[in-house]
């Protein structure tokens, strides 16, 4: 008898007739298997023959183990998403018994059925936009009409006021740079969102996370019907070809399990 159940994902029960491949579980000692919960929801789990306290200690103290297990979880969920309409669970979702798993699923039952309907036949895609702020700032400084108007306004001032207003120009250019970045990215997001049933804006990542020299200007995620994916990618590539030489960099990734469009209170 195992100490714990590790939950990878939830799938519609009517898809559980697709055989689950032989996949090694979280602790390398057991394989993944299905647990049917009611008529509509099936859980994909594995047994974990250890205590929750031991796992928490590993997470806190063993970085190498944590990276290995996080990768294992990601790979298993990705493999399962190619076979089933899947609600992915976050890393290390554990239950002390099958009964406690059933109780939690049953308390979320209607919401889970709605989520399955939403994500069925769809893929999650992520789009990130980066920019070279220095190159873009130069373009904004030279071509932005508001900045040109500001410069002309300053030239009409007295010498004393002109000195102080010129000192403020750097800050004004920075403001216009951010405005142009936001307007540019919003336009692309709206155009790509036309192919999706849902599109969300996420928090930008800092350079220490991305490992890139360019700043992340936009981070968005889309839920795409499968028949729209090709058109979505074609449109994305149009933007990539058109604006890369202007200091913009684009990154699209997918298909992913519907991490951002499914929720489950574990």
Q: Are 224 and 195 in contact (CB under 8 A)?
A: yes
Residue 238: predicted pLDDT: 96
Which residues are registered as beta bridge partners of 142? none
Give the separation between CA 76 and CA 22, rounded to whole angstroms: 11
Tens place of pLDDT per residue across the chain (266 aa): 457 999 999 999 999 999 999 999 998 889 999 999 989 999 999 999 888 888 999 899 999 999 999 999 999 999 999 999 999 999 999 999 999 999 999 999 999 999 999 999 999 999 999 998 877 777 666 667 776 776 666 666 666 566 556 666 677 777 878 888 899 999 999 999 999 999 999 999 998 888 888 889 999 999 999 999 999 999 999 999 999 888 899 999 999 999 999 877 65
Q: Are 223 and 122 in contact (CB under 8 A)?
A: yes
193: Cβ contacts below 8 Å, ≥ 6 apart: 199, 222
Which residues are registered as beta bridge partners of 124? 223, 256
Residue 174: predicted pLDDT: 76
Q: For the chain, what's the residue count?
A: 266
* DSSP per residue, 191-239: HHHTT-SEEEE-PPPPHHHH--SSEEEEEEEEEEEGGGHHHHHHHHHHH
Give the separation between CA 8 and CA 168, rounded to whole angstroms: 55
- H or E, element range at 131: strand 122-131
Give the separation between CA 123 and CA 219, rounded to whole angstroms: 17
Domains in the chain, please, with CATH?
4-120 (no CATH), 123-134+173-261 (3.30.70.260)
Residue 160: predicted pLDDT: 57
Give the separation between CA 115 and CA 118, rounded to whole angstroms: 5
122-131 vs 215-225, strand pairing mode: antiparallel
Give the separation between CA 51 and CA 3, rounded to whole angstroms: 6
Q: What are phi and psi of 119, to 5 degrees?
A: -95, -10
Residue 253: predicted pLDDT: 96
> What angle is formed at CA 9 by the lines to CA 222 and CA 55, rounded to 5 degrees?
115
Q: Are 204 and 217 in contact (CB under 8 A)?
A: yes
Q: Are 217 and 130 in contact (CB under 8 A)?
A: yes
Residue 17: predicted pLDDT: 93
Give the separation between CA 220 and CA 30, rounded to whole angstroms: 37
């Amino acid at each position: 008898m195992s100490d714990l159940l590790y939950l990878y994902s939830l799938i519609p029960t009517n898809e559980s007739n697709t055989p689950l491949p032989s996949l090694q579980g979280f602790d390398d000692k057991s394989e993944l298997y299905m647990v049917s919960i009611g008529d509509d929801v099936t859980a994909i789990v594995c047994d974990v023959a250890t205590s929750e306290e031991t796992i928490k200690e590993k997470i806190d103290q063993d970085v190498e183990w944590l990276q290995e297990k996080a990768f294992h979880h990601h790979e298993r969920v990705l493999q399962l998403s190619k076979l089933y309409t899947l609600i992915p669970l976050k890393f290390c979702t554990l239950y002390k018994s099958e009964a406690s798993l059933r109780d939690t699923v049953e308390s979320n039952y209607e919401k889970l059925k709605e989520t399955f309907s939403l994500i069925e036949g769809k893929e999650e895609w992520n789009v990130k936009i980066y920019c070279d702020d220095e190159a873009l700032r130069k373009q904004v400084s030279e071509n932005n009409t508001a900045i040109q108007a500001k410069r002309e306004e300053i030239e009409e001032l007295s010498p004393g006021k002109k000195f102080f207003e010129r000192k403020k120009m750097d800050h004004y250019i920075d403001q216009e740079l951010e405005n142009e970045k936001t307007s540019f990215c919003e336009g692309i997001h709206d155009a790509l969102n036309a192919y999706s049933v849902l599109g969300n804006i996420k928090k930008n990542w800092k350079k220490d996370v991305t490992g890139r020299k360019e700043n992340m200007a936009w981070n968005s995620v889309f839920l795409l019907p499968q028949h729209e994916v090709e058109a979505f990618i074609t449109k994305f590539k149009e933007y990539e070809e058109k604006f890369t030489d202007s200091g913009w960099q684009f990154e699209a990734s997918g298909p992913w399990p519907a991490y951002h469009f499914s929720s489950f209170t574990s």
